[in-house]
C-alpha cells in the first residue's frame, strides 16, 4: 500500500521562504498571535520558539490538515511538484478560499495549465486599509506556478530555432496594469504597511533619465574637450555642456528649476548640423565662415475666428425662412391640438366617432414638427459660409 503523499523538502523550503520566521510571538491586527513560520493556532503572548522547533510545527501540525484536504478534494493524480505547489498555495490563501477557487475546479476537470494560471489571480492583499496588488504575493504566486508546472522528469528542451514563440494577444489582454505595492512587515506589532520611499531615491523615470545623462556625458566627453579649443561665440550651435545640462535636467524631480519662457512664444535656432564644431571640425578649416544663424520667433498659429450665431452676418433669407414657417406651423398645431382635446364634448361633432382622437394626434404630430423645424432652423442660422 502506497504511503499518502506528503510535502517534500523543496515545498517546505518554499513555504518557509515566503512565510518568514518569527522567534517571538507577534500580535496580529485581529488580536490573534503569530509565531515561527506562520503558526497561529498555539501562538500566544510571550511565546518564543527556535527555528528547528518552528519547522517541526510547520511540517507536522500546520501542513497536515492542508495535505489531507488536498488528498481528499483533488480528484486528479498529482505529481510531487504539483502537490507541493498546491500545499503552499492553500496554506497561504486558506482552505475555505482554496475549496471555492477556480484552481480546484479546473484541476479536477483536467485543465492543469488553466489551474496554474488561476493561481495568479490571488495576488492582492489589504495594505494600509486598501486592497492592493502586493509585490510579495505576485512573487509567491509566480514561484508556486513555476513549481506546479515543473515536470518531475525534467524540463523539455524546446530551442527557439526549432519552435519560435508567437505572441498571444489573449494572454496580453489578461495582464493587469495595476501597479504593485511593496510592503514591509513590522514584526513589533504584526502589521503590514507599504514600504516608505527612501529619501533621495530615484523613481524609475528619474533613474532612466540619469542613466541616459551619464551615457551622454561619456559620449560627449571627447567632443567637449575639442569644443573648448574652438570659438564658442557662435550662437545657435549647442555645445556639449548645454546638451549634458539639458539631459541631466530630465532627472531632476521638479524640472530644471529655471524660469520657463512664455508658452505662447517658441524660440527656434537655425542650426547647420553639417558645419557644427562637434560634427565636422576638419571641414571648418576649408569652408568659408558661416554667418551667425538668424534667430526667429515662432508663435502658434492664430486661432480661427469664433463661429458666431450668424444673426449679424449675411445670411440668405431662403436658408432659414422655410424652417421658421414650419416652426410656426408646428406651434399653431400644438395650440390647436390642445384646444381640441380640452374642448367640451358638446362642441364636438356627434356624427364623427374618431373626433376624440383628432386633438391628441394633432398635438403630438405638431410637437415632432416643431422640434425638427427648430433644430434645422438653428443649424441654418449658425451655418458659416
Looking up cell 495576488, which residue turns up? 123
Query: For 365, phi and psi rounded to 5 degrees?
Result: -65, -35
CA 288 to chain CA centroid, nearest Å: 56
Sign of the CA dihedral 364, 365, 368, 371? negative
19 carries an active-site annotation: yes
d(CA 101, CA 168) in angstroms, rounded, equals 25
d(CA 250, CA 203) in angstroms, rounded, equals 12
Looking up cell 451655418, which residue turns up? 383
Q: Cell for 139? A: 512573487
Q: Of 88, 183, 91, nearest to 134 (Cα)?
A: 183
Looking up cell 496594469, which residue turns up? 177
- 3-state class percentages of the chain: helix first, strand second, coil last, to nearest 5: 50, 10, 40
CA 373 to chain CA centroid, nearest Å: 47
Q: Of 355, 331, 358, 360, nearest to 345 (Cα)?
A: 355
**Which of the residues 19, 67, 82, 144 is marked catalytic?**
19
Q: Cell for 372? A: 425638427
- The answer to whether 111 touches 94, Cβ cutoff 8 Å, is no
- The answer to whether 82 touches 116, Cβ cutoff 8 Å, is no
Q: Cell for 354? A: 374618431
d(CA 81, CA 146) in angstroms, rounded, equals 9
Q: Which residues pair with 269 in a beta bridge?
A: 295
Residues identified as active-site: 19
Amino acid at each position: 500500500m502506497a504511503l499518502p503523499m506528503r510535502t517534500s523538502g523543496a515545498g517546505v523550503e518554499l513555504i518557509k521562504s515566503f512565510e518568514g520566521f518569527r522567534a517571538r510571538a507577534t500580535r496580529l491586527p485581529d488580536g490573534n498571535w503569530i509565531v515561527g513560520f506562520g503558526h497561529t493556532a498555539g501562538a500566544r503572548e510571550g511565546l518564543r520558539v527556535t527555528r528547528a522547533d518552528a519547522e517541526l510545527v510547520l511540517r507536522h501540525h500546520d501542513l497536515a490538515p492542508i495535505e489531507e484536504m488536498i488528498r481528499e478534494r483533488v480528484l486528479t493524480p498529482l505529481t510531487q511538484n504539483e502537490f507541493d505547489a498546491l500545499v503552499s498555495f492553500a496554506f497561504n490563501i486558506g482552505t475555505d478560499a482554496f475549496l471555492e477557487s477556480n484552481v480546484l475546479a479546473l484541476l479536477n476537470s483536467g485543465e492543469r495549465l488553466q489551474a496554474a494560471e488561476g493561481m495568479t489571480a490571488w495576488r492582492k492583499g489589504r495594505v494600509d486599509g486598501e486592497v492592493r496588488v502586493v509585490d510579495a504575493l505576485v512573487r509567491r504566486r509566480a514561484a508556486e506556478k513555476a513549481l506546479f508546472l515543473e515536470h518531475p522528469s525534467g524540463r523539455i528542451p524546446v530551442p527557439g530555432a526549432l519552435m519560435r514563440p508567437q505572441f498571444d494577444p489573449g494572454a496580453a489582454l489578461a495582464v493587469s496594469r495595476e501597479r504593485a505595492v511593496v510592503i514591509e512587515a513590522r514584526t513589533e506589532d504584526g502589521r503590514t504597511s507599504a514600504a516608505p520611499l527612501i529619501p533621495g531615491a530615484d523613481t524609475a523615470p528619474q533613474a532612466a533619465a540619469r542613466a541616459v545623462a551619464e551615457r551622454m556625458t561619456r559620449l560627449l566627453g571627447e567632443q567637449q574637450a575639442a569644443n573648448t579649443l574652438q570659438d564658442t561665440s557662435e550662437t545657435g550651435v549647442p555645445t556639449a555642456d548645454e546638451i549634458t545640462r539639458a539631459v541631466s535636467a530630465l532627472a531632476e524631480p521638479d524640472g530644471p528649476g529655471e524660469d520657463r519662457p512664455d508658452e505662447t512664444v517658441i524660440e527656434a535656432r537655425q542650426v547647420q548640423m553639417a558645419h557644427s564644431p562637434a560634427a565636422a571640425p576638419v571641414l571648418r578649416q576649408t569652408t568659408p565662415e558661416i554667418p551667425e544663424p538668424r534667430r526667429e520667433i515662432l508663435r502658434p498659429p492664430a486661432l480661427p475666428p469664433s463661429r458666431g450665431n450668424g444673426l449679424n452676418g449675411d445670411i440668405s433669407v431662403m436658408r432659414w425662412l422655410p424652417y421658421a414657417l414650419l416652426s410656426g406651423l408646428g406651434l399653431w398645431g400644438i395650440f390647436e391640438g390642445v384646444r381640441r382635446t380640452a374642448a367640451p364634448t358638446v362642441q364636438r361633432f356627434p356624427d364623427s366617432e374618431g373626433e376624440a382622437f383628432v386633438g391628441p394626434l394633432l398635438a403630438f404630430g405638431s410637437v415632432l414638427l416643431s422640434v425638427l423645424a427648430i433644430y434645422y432652423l438653428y443649424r441654418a442660422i449658425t451655418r458659416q459660409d
